Amino acid sequence: MAKVSSNVAEIKKAQAMAESLGQASEIVLPSFGKELFLGHFRLDLIAPFPEEEPAVAAETAAYLEKIRHVCETEWREVGPEIERTGVVPEYVVKGLADLGAFGMKIPKEYGGLGLSQVAYNKALALVTQVHSSLGVLLSAHQSIGVPQPLKSYGTEEQKKKFLPRCAQGAVTACLLTEPNTGTDLAHTATTAVPTDDDEAYILNGVKLWTTNGVIAELVVVLAAVPRSETHRGGLSTFIVEIDSPGITVERRNEFMGLRGIENGVTRFHDVRVPKENLLGKEGKGLAVALSTLNVGRLSIPGMSAGAGKWSTKIATEWVAVRSSMGKPIGKYEAIASKVSFMAATTFAMDAMQEMTSIMADQKRNDIRVESAIAKLFASEMGWRIADDLVQVRGGRGYETAASLQARGERAVNAEGSLRDQRINRVFEGATEIMYLALAREAMEEHQKNGFALFDPDVDLAEKRKVAVNAAKYYAGYLPTLAVGKGHNPNSYAEYGTLAKHLRYIDRRSQRMARHVIYGLARYATGMLHKQMFMSRIVLIGTELYAQACAIVAAERIRSKVGGEQGEEAYALADAFCRQSRLRVDELFGALWKNTDELDRKLTSTMMEGSYSWLWSDIIDLSEGTGPWIADQTHGPTQTEDVRRDPYATV
| Active centre residues (catalytic) | 428
Helix 333-362 vs helix 563-590: crossing angle, to nearest 10: 100
Estimate to the nearest angstrom the gap between the alpha carbon of 360 and the chain centroid: 15
Exposed e or buried b per residue across 559-596, where buried means at least 16 C-beta atoms within 10 angstroms of its C-beta: eeeeeeebebbbebbbbbbebbbeebeebbeebeeeee
**How many Å apart are CA 482 and CA 479, to the nearest integer?**
6
Helix 368-393 vs helix 531-560: crossing angle, to nearest 10: 80
Q: Which residues pair with 202 in a beta bridge?
A: 193, 272
Give yes or no for a contact between 121 and 112, defined as CB atoms under 8 angstroms apart: no
Estimate to the nearest angstrom the gap between the alpha carbon of 377 and the chain centroid: 9
556 Cβ neighbours under 8 A, 6+ residues apart: 48, 49
Beta strand pairing status for 263-274 and 247-252?
A: antiparallel
Helix 431-448 vs helix 499-523: crossing angle, to nearest 10: 70
Read off the DSSP letter of residue 419.
H
**CA-angle at 235, arms to 234 and 239, nearest 5°:** 130
Helix 499-523 vs helix 563-590: crossing angle, to nearest 10: 20
**CA-angle at 427, arms to 587 and 182, nearest 5°:** 100
Report the SS3 class of residue 337: helix
